[in-house]
Amino acid sequence: MSDDMSEQQEVYARAKEEVQKWKLSKLGNDDDDDDEKREGYELSEVVTQAKPTILVGVSTHARAFTEDIVKEMSQHVERPIIFPLSNPTKLSEADPRDVMTWSQGRALVATGSPFPDVEGKSGERLRVAECNNALIYPGIGLGALVCEAKLVSSDMLYAASCALASSAPCVKDK
């Protein structure tokens, strides 16, 4: 793959020979001149070629997860996992209502900002889970202060994660 990749990154990397067959595009801002743009791969091309099962949005590129991208992804995975995590809400990569519509209610969606409830595949009301790391750090920080911890261990992070997970809408609303 590449000498500058970690072992963990190599697991997900694609062979150069495979990627060379993908369609290159000129990438940049709309107001950039062509000579200011660089060649790269559009997200839609990556989804079409790599067939991911999950999209995690942390780009603050509003509406980057388009209808075409979600529909393409939904063709090759039964339950696409789509996390438009950027915030504030106006910079989210997708609106959960759109994702649910475009995936015919099959997507598993969590966001980084608050969104209103969505309609599920059978017309049921579903609460959109907010999956922002900002939800856990205040609690970890307060816990560390209260117990005067000198170090936050892996076990402490695991316990905090379990406590937060137990309050997720899919668990709490049952």
Q: Over its length of 174 residues, how does the chain's per-residue pLDDT go in tens digits?
A: 667 888 888 888 898 899 999 999 888 777 777 777 888 899 999 999 999 999 999 999 999 999 999 999 999 999 999 999 998 999 999 999 999 999 999 999 999 989 999 988 888 898 898 887 666 778 888 888 999 999 999 998 898 888 888 877 667 666
Residues 6+ apart with CB under 8 A from 35: none
pTM of the model: 0.74
Instruction: Give, in order, the Cα–Cα distances in Å from 90 to each of 13, 63, 73, 94, 113.
Output: 31, 9, 23, 9, 9
